[in-house]
Amino acid sequence: MIRAIPTRLRDERGQTLTEMLVVIPTLSVVLAAIIGTMVVLMHGNSQATSQLIEQETVRPTLDSMMQDLRSTIPPTVGGLGLISATSSAITFYSPDGIYATSGATSPFHLREVAYRFSGGALQQQVVTSTNTYTSVTSTIPWGTWTSASGNFPLSTFPATTGWRTLLGTGQAADGSVPGLVSSSFTYYDADGDVISSPVSATNLGLVRTIAVNVTATSGGSNPVDTSYSNTATIRETQPTQ
């Protein structure tokens, strides 16, 4: 028994070449499967993160735009809050604060606001009057409003330049934000019937609800498209002045 121990210790036999040739390919297959699974999981996580960032950007921006549209008010007695409306652009008047339909109200300035879908982007342009409106009465008209660019409202608004990109192409200086896949405005009257676009001057006063539809993409090698929609109903009451 004592003499057998050194013999066992000197036994240095290992794996044969045949066994190694069988084990190595098997390990390679297993490792390839593990790495492939990790790549898929990492890619899926990246796509989910991009989509989440997109959702956190698109929805609040659309909500803000629709809030502007809901607060549309006319600049004069008997006037129209909407200036122009097409399937890709809309221009209207809106206060920069909350106003009351009668009596005293919080001070605000009247704004001329424009939104448009252009080149895969949602863009905005705004000009604000310098006059502060502090009350709503039944007899006194608003009068002439002024702005830093001249008399308000501006006949040349919106300008060809001065657009600010809110969503899509051009939102990031490095071009990392993909363009919008599709986008449109749709207009409805009080009965819920669609008003053909571009809305004619005679039909602008019939617009009661504005719907916006946007499809954005997460970008990347396997982009995920997500559609968003929202509606804004224009207030039927207006300052009586």
**Considering the domain boundaries, does residue 3 fall inside one?**
no
- Of 234 and 15, which is predicted with more confidence? 234
Q: Is 61 exposed, middle or buried (0-12, 13-18, 19+ CB in 10 A)?
A: middle
**Considering the domain boundaries, does residue 135 fall inside one?**
yes
Residue 28, pLDDT score: 75
Distance between CA 110 and CA 68 in Å, rounded? 12
Give the pLDDT band (50/70/90) at residue 143.
Answer: low
**The two structure tokens encoding residue 170:** 């051009």
Residue 214, pLDDT score: 92
For 87-138, write each residue's pLDDT tens digit.
999 999 888 876 655 455 567 788 899 999 999 999 999 988 887 776 544 3
- Provide the H-helix boundaries in the chain: 4-9, 17-70
Range of the domain at 78: 36-233
CA distances from 90 to 59, 96, 185, 204, 227 (A): 19, 17, 8, 11, 20
* CB neighbourhood size of 168 (10 A): 25
**Considering the domain boundaries, does residue 174 fall inside one?**
yes
**Considering the domain boundaries, does residue 241 fall inside one?**
no
- Of 74 and 123, which is predicted with more confidence? 123
Mean pLDDT of the chain: 77
Residue 144, pLDDT score: 58
How many domains does one find in the chain?
A: 1
Amino acid letter, residue 8 = R
CB-based contact 223:48 (threshold 8 Å):
no
pTM, full prediction: 0.72
**Considering the domain boundaries, does residue 40 fall inside one?**
yes
Q: Is a pLDDT exceeding 50 seen at residue 83? A: yes
Residue 238, pLDDT score: 47
For 17-61, write each residue's pLDDT tens digit.
676 667 777 777 777 777 767 666 565 555 555 554 556 678 888
**Considering the domain boundaries, does residue 82 fall inside one?**
yes
**Considering the domain boundaries, does residue 24 fall inside one?**
no
**Considering the domain boundaries, does residue 218 fall inside one?**
yes
Give the pLDDT band (50/70/90) at residue 240.
Answer: very low
- Please report, rounded to a whole number, the percentage of residues in the chain having pLDDT higher than 90: 29
